[in-house]
Chains A and B, each alone.
Chain A
Amino acid sequence: MNWFREILNVAISGLTARKVRTLLIMLGPVLGAAGIVAAVGLNESAKGDVRQTLERLGTNLIVASADGSFSAGQAPTLPEDAVERAMYVSTVDRVAGITEIGSLIVLPSQGGKDFFRTIPIPVLTSDQTLLDVLDAKMLHGRFINGADENNIFRSAVIGQDLANDYQYLPGEVRTIDVDGETYGIVGVLENVDLVPKLDTAVIIPKSAAEEDFDVEQKPTTLYVRATEGNVDSTAEALPMAINLGGDEAVTVAVPSDLLEAQGAVDTTLRNILFLMGGLALLVGGVGIANVMSISVIQRSGEIGIRRALGHTKTTIALQFVLEALFVGVLGGIAGVVTGVCVIYLVSSILGWIATLNIPLFLVAGGMALIVSVIAGLYPAWKAARLEPLETLRLG
Chain B
Amino acid sequence: MNSTGLKDPNPVNSRQTQLFCLNDVYRIYGEEPVAVHALDGVSLDIHSGDFMAIIGPSGSGKSTLLGLLGCLDLPSRGSIKVSGTEVTELDDGARSRLRGDSIGFVFQQFHLIPHLTALGNVATALLYRDLTKSEINQRALQALDTVGLAERHDHRPVQLSGGEQQRVALARAIVTDPLMILADEPTGALDTKNAKMVMDIFKNLQGQNRAVVLVTHDLEIAEQMDRVVSMRDGKIIADDLRDERKQSLQDTFWESGSGSKLE
Chains A and B come from one and the same complex: yes
**Taking beta carbons and an 8 Å cutoff, which residues of A are in contact with B?**
2-3, 6-7, 10, 13-14, 16-18, 301-302, 304-315, 387-389, 392-395
- B127 sits at the interface (CB 8 A): yes
**B96 surroundings in chain A (CB, below 8 A):** 307, 310-313
A135 to B153, CA, bound (A): 77
**B62 surroundings in chain A (CB, below 8 A):** 395
**B92 surroundings in chain A (CB, below 8 A):** 312-313
**8 Å CB contact of B67 from A3, A6, A312, A394:** A394
Known: A388-B72, A394-B63, A395-B184. A312 touches B132 (CB 8 A): no
Task: Tell me the count of chain B residues lying within 8 A, CB to CB, of chain A.
Answer: 38
A190 to B57, CA, bound (A): 100
Most buried by A among B111, B114, B116, B215: B111
B66 touches A394 (CB 8 A): yes
Restricting to B24-49, which residues have a CB under 8 Å from any CB of A? none
**8 Å CB contact of A2 from B112, B131, B172:** B131
- CB pairs A–B below 8 angstroms (16 shown): A2-B130, A3-B130, A6-B127, A14-B115, A16-B115, A305-B105, A308-B111, A310-B128, A310-B176, A311-B100, A311-B127, A392-B72, A392-B107, A393-B109, A394-B215, A395-B184
Known: A17-B115, A389-B72. A310 touches B101 (CB 8 A): yes
A308 touches B116 (CB 8 A): no
A13 touches B111 (CB 8 A): no
Closest to B67 in A: A389
Contact with A along B85-117 (1 / 0, CB 8 A): 000000011001111110001010101111110
A314 to B95, CA, bound (A): 13
**A394 surroundings in chain B (CB, below 8 A):** 63, 66-67, 107, 184, 215
Known: A308-B99, A308-B105, A310-B99. A315 touches B128 (CB 8 A): yes
- B218 sits at the interface (CB 8 A): no
Interface of A is mostly: helix
A388 to B63, CA, bound (A): 13
**A310 surroundings in chain B (CB, below 8 A):** 96-101, 125, 128, 176
Shortest Cβ distance from residue A323 to the other chain B in the assembled complex, whole angstroms: 13
**A395 surroundings in chain B (CB, below 8 A):** 58, 62-63, 66, 184-185, 215
**8 Å CB contact of B97 from A306, A308, A312:** A312
B132 touches A2 (CB 8 A): yes
A152 to B243, CA, bound (A): 137
**A393 surroundings in chain B (CB, below 8 A):** 109
